[in-house]
């Protein structure tokens, strides 16, 4: 599972591919440590935070949450990121997060 529930909301583990020809969510990536990451391709280049802004925009749209609910807590300049979704945990959000796993 690429996300975990905390008292502050949800922490999402994401692997981004910047400067991609097609923008979107591409399922789950499992690294060498058997940790799952949600794969997201971005059109933006990784300069001056453009790719991070596009990542927040995609997550916001996909989960029907405002952009202000998301913050990158690890991996600002890395391909592997941890994003905090600051929202009250609920069954609806759990269901939406599980649906993102199946996106391709």
CATH of 3-101, one of 3.30.1200.10, 3.10.20.30, 3.40.50.150, 3.40.50.300: 3.30.1200.10
Annotated domain spans of the chain: 3-101
Using CA atoms, how far residue 20 sits from 51, 59, 76, in Å, is 11, 17, 18
Arithmetic mean of pLDDT over the chain: 90
Q: How confident is the model at residue 83 (pLDDT cuts 50, 70, 90)?
A: very high
**Residue 100 above 90 pLDDT?**
no
Contacts for 45 with CB less than 8 Å, ≥ 6 apart: 18, 19, 51
- Rounded average pLDDT over 15-33: 90
pLDDT value of residue 27: 87
For residue 104, pLDDT over 60 is answered with no
pLDDT in tens, 36-71: 999 999 999 888 889 999 999 999 999 889 999 999
Percentage of the chain with pLDDT > 70? 98
Q: Say if pTM beats, i.e. exceeds, 0.85.
A: yes
């Amino acid at each position: 599972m690429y996300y975990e529930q905390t008292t502050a909301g949800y922490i999402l583990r994401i692997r981004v591919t910047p400067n991609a020809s097609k923008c979107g969510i591409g399922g789950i990536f499992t690294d060498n440590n058997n940790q799952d990451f949600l794969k997201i391709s971005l059109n933006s280049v990784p300069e001056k935070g453009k790719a991070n802004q596009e990542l927040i925009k995609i997550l916001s749209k996909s989960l029907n949450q405002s952009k202000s609910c998301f913050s990158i807590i690890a991996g600002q300049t890395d391909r592997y990121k941890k994003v905090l979704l600051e929202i009250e945990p609920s069954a609806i959000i759990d269901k939406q997060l599980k649906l993102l796993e199946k996106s391709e």
